[in-house]
Amino acid sequence: MATIKDVAGLAGVSISTVSHVVNGTRFVSEEATSKVRDAITTLDYKPSALARSLKTSKTRTVGMLTSSNANPFFAEVIQGVEATCYDLGYHLVLCNSGMSEQSGLEKQAAYLQTLSEKRVDGLLVMSAYSSELFFQLLDQQSFPLVVLDCNAPLKNADIIMDDPDLGGYEATRYLIEQGHRAIGCISGPNLLSPSKERLNGYRRALCDFGITVNPQWIIEGALTAESGYQAACQLMTLEAMPSALFCGNDLMAMGAISALQSKGLIVPDDVSIIGYDDIELAAYTSPPLTSIAQPKRKLGVMAAKTLIQRIENPDTAPSVKTLKSTLVVRHSVKDLGGIYEKSA
């Protein structure tokens, strides 16, 4: 394997000149640069990433903590992150903490330590479960930090997310505008701020339209299809069922549809369903799922660009960026007729 000394010898220049050409750390004449590049090509020289990082204090590597890249929502965001990092010359190290609350928090702390030891240039965080201790650990890190899909209480982090309260409100208002007044909710874990805010939006919409909230119709799920299935089964044991359900994410909505259909109920004729996230699978359920769409790939692209900008311009002040969600209407909500006006 060729060394930097071999390149310098073939090009007839000093080792420091080769280093400056490779790393772009100082002006080198066009003639010398050409000789160095020709020597690199001839010898098939591969600069050591470790040696370069020691010299420049940069590894051109970013870390990403996420709950599970198997979750379709996270997977679509990660695609945007990975593509952007690659285009901008950065490597991505992905760490999955899992969807379990306890193991997730333990893994987060362990992965954060590992990424710090590997000297990543910056960190992206998009994780379902976060604790006060974890936020304290993040605040202690010296590298730039971007948090996705969570309004985290951090001093020096960029925040990029949609408006979950508004999203929950718009989902519920759509059901109301289709004539529904008996509306339930399968929410995400109340521990998570986006889930809590989507539930708040649901409550606020019912209040604005003069509809009483039925506590029996609000069930906390775990953002999985299985939890949506179990929540719908629980609702079906009640004396009175809601005519429509707002689900805190699409996976829970899909689980709810499966549960209803297993009991002989028809979606949307018997029960209407609206989800949240608009993952790719939402268009292919039976029936196709109406959902509040987050711009997932755009979220990933913006997060990666924001982090790399902070890495390359450390004095840039952190910011909060809000992306707009949109309603995607398909066939899982029945129009009962009659549009209700807001209460006075």
- Measured CA to CA, the distance from residue 308 to residue 89 in angstroms comes to 10
- Measured CA to CA, the distance from residue 271 to residue 250 in angstroms comes to 16
Q: Delimit the domains of the chain by residue range.
A: 4-56, 61-162+295-313, 164-293
4-56 matches 164-293 in fold: no
- Measured CA to CA, the distance from residue 257 to residue 266 in angstroms comes to 9
Least confident of 2-16, 234-248, 268-282: 2-16
Q: In angstroms, how far is CA 140 from the centroid of its own chain?
A: 22
CATH superfamily of 164-293: Response regulator (3.40.50.2300)
The domain 4-56 is placed in CATH, from the list 1.10.260.40, 3.40.190.10, 3.40.50.9100, 3.30.70.100, at: 1.10.260.40
Q: Pick from 146, 107, 113, 145: which is nearest to 129 by CA?
A: 107
Which position has the higher pLDDT, 250 or 127? 250
Structure confidence by residue, pLDDT tens digits, 166-213: 999 999 999 999 999 999 999 998 888 889 999 999 999 999 999 999
What pairing do the DSSP bridges indicate for beta strands 326-328 and 290-293? Answer: antiparallel
**Predicted TM-score (pTM) of this structure:** 0.80
CATH superfamily of 61-162+295-313: Response regulator (3.40.50.2300)
Structure confidence by residue, pLDDT tens digits, 28-85: 899 999 999 999 999 988 776 545 554 556 778 999 998 877 789 999 999 999 999 9
Residue 271 in tokens: 């029960």
Alpha helices in the chain (DSSP H): 4-11, 15-23, 30-43, 49-56, 72-87, 101-117, 132-139, 164-177, 193-208, 225-235, 250-262, 296-312
Q: Quick one: pLDDT at residue 156?
A: 84
Check pLDDT > 80 for residue 295: yes
Q: Would you place residue 342 in the very low, low, confident or very high pLDDT band (cuts 50, 70, 90)?
A: low
Query: What is the residue-averaged pLDDT of the chain?
Result: 89
Q: Quick one: pLDDT at residue 344?
A: 46
Structure confidence by residue, pLDDT tens digits, 296-338: 999 999 999 999 999 988 888 888 999 999 999 999 999 998 6
DSSP letter (8 states) at residue 318? P
Check pLDDT > 70 for residue 102: no
